Amino acid sequence: MIVAAQQALYGWHLALGKVEYSKVHEWQHGLVSMRANGFARDTIITVEHPPVVTVGKDGHSENFENLEMKPIMVERGGDVTYHGPGQLVVYFIFNLTRRGRDIHKFMSDIQDGIIMTLASHGIKARKDKELTGVWVGDKKIASVGVAVKKWITFHGVAFNLSTEMSDFNSINPCGLESGIMTSVEKLTGEKPDMNEWSAELTKNYNSIFETSFEPIDLESIAEDVESQAGGYGV
């Protein structure tokens, strides 16, 4: 008897380099709409942002009252966070209907990818029972915040590689003291290569999500993404 092999899952990986937050936020909306209508595959976006502070739907003003720049209010879960140079940001445009509609597992899988990547560099990281994110000892090295609309996910994780820790000083990241944050560079004394860590993390997500996330050029889908941006009611 011949048993049919399980169909392999394929996805997209957009490695964007350094792009301003608002532009990528707009592109996420376009991809969410495309994914909901079957015109895009599950997509991982890896990107580095110029300095910006975002506030999720659970944000409290006292956690960014000392902030000089104007924060961007967004629809992800969580409180206030900072994005900037040296931080690897990963966004997930996934259709969870194909993945069991289990948001808690999805969040856990996101964190596991960070933990696996750190472990390969000799850094033992963990998840916390009460607080989201990825932790090394009592320090937080990655923040997680997602949004889900009609079982399509967006937003994701901010992973501190060589982020300047003083950039967190004007906020209480995720409602915690700014001193709680750490980075790979602070832990190891060496500056990680953004491209190498991005590739390694994506490879780990290939395994975790049992999906081959293939590189795709944004230019090849840019017109579709732009036309769908903002059209999903997010």
Q: Is 174 a catalytic residue?
A: yes
Q: Are 80 and 172 in contact (CB under 8 A)?
A: yes
> Please, which residues have CB within 8 angstroms of residue 52's CB and are 6 or more apart in sequence?
20, 21, 69, 72, 82, 83, 84
Q: Are 167 and 190 in contact (CB under 8 A)?
A: no
Q: Are 216 and 149 in contact (CB under 8 A)?
A: no
Catalytic choice (174, 181, 187, 201)? 174
CA pair distance 131, 139, nearest whole angstrom: 12
- Phi, psi (5° rounding) for residue 220? -75, -20
CA pair distance 154, 188, nearest whole angstrom: 31
Token representation of residue 8: 């392999």
CA pair distance 230, 27, nearest whole angstrom: 9
Displacement of CA 161 from its chain's centroid (Å) = 13
Helix (H, G, I), strand (E, B) or coil at 45: strand
CA pair distance 107, 221, nearest whole angstrom: 27
Active-site residue numbers? 174
